[in-house]
Amino acid sequence: MERLKVNLCGIELDNPIIPASGTFGFGYEFADIYDINKLGTFSFKGTTKDPRFGNPTPRAAECTAGIINSVGLQNPGVDKVIAEELPKLSKVFNKKVMANIGGFSVEEYAYVAERIAECEQVGWLEVNISCPNVHGGGMAMGADPNMAAAVTKAVRKVTDKPVIIKLSPNVTDIVSIAKACEAEGADGISLINTLLGMRINLKTRKPIIANKMGGFSGPAVFPVALRMVYQVASNVKIPVVGLGGVSRAEDVIEMMLAGATAVQVGAANLIDPAACSDIIDKLPSVMDKYGINKLSDIIGGAL
């Protein structure tokens, strides 16, 4: 449907709906539920240089209007993703896919980016800079504008494909970090990643998550995500991908009015695997309700 189309960093999407990394596997797992080609695209499971088993269990805890998880970037490593996961995906998905990558040093980010960018299927690189810097005391790569800029610059050097930097909300000044990434050649900004949260078991009096704390996501974080999307979109000239608590077609409209060109759906996929399909189906009627002819017309409408 023409009225749903948007352009993300030079690549046209049939609609702005993108399942978020970590909530949609490598895509083919959902192909038996619905035709995933109806999506704008999706961001596949966060991929690192080496295979990762992830964090100890339990890794998840339910919350009011959300969930806390601490999976720990479990993935088979970039070589196996290229050799096994992407060929499986190609059998059921005929669009460009967004590759979400992580690393624990600037060099690792560059290595994974260069390897994954060689794949014809990959349209965009979504660079998750919430990973801890193992050479810098464990602080997240995206917590400091200088480090965020260094990762962006390194990734930008190894690929001509669109580079979208995914930012953590667990910072004091999201705008300065976004602008630092833009200055070093980022083609887009994706936000927000999960907030840091925890739950305590009243019987054992200990944290439910083995890692004590984890990423808090779900509808409860939507107002925080919307605020940060608005702030960043007001201060950068590159496209913004909005995510964080999106679960309805109305949320998508709100995110786009705040400045998002495309919108990712995360935790909702864990509750209902067909969530993104349902949102796409409902978008036209919600657009009609609010007098919206084309989604591309409302991007940044509230700025």
Q: Which residues are catalytic?
A: 131
Burial status of residue 204 (CB atoms within 10 A of its CB: 0-12, 13-18, 19 or more): exposed
Three-state SS for 132?
strand
Three-state SS for 267?
helix
E-strand spans in 71-180? 97-101, 122-128, 163-166
Closest CA relative to residue 228, chosen from 185, 301, 171, 183: 171
Return all residues near 64 (Cβ < 8 A) that are at least 6 apart.
220
170 phi/psi in degrees, rounded to 5: -85, 55
Whole-angstrom distance, CA of residue 58 vs CA of residue 212: 10
CB atoms within 10 A of CB 199: 17
Which residues are bridge partners to 46 per DSSP? none
Whole-angstrom distance, CA of residue 177 vs CA of residue 145: 5
Q: Cβ distance 127 to 65 under 8 Å?
A: no
Q: Cβ distance 289 to 9 under 8 Å?
A: no
Burial status of residue 119 (CB atoms within 10 A of its CB: 0-12, 13-18, 19 or more): middle
- Cα(first)–Cα(last) distance of the chain, in Å? 26
Burial status of residue 105 (CB atoms within 10 A of its CB: 0-12, 13-18, 19 or more): middle
Which residues are bridge partners to 101 per DSSP? 47, 127
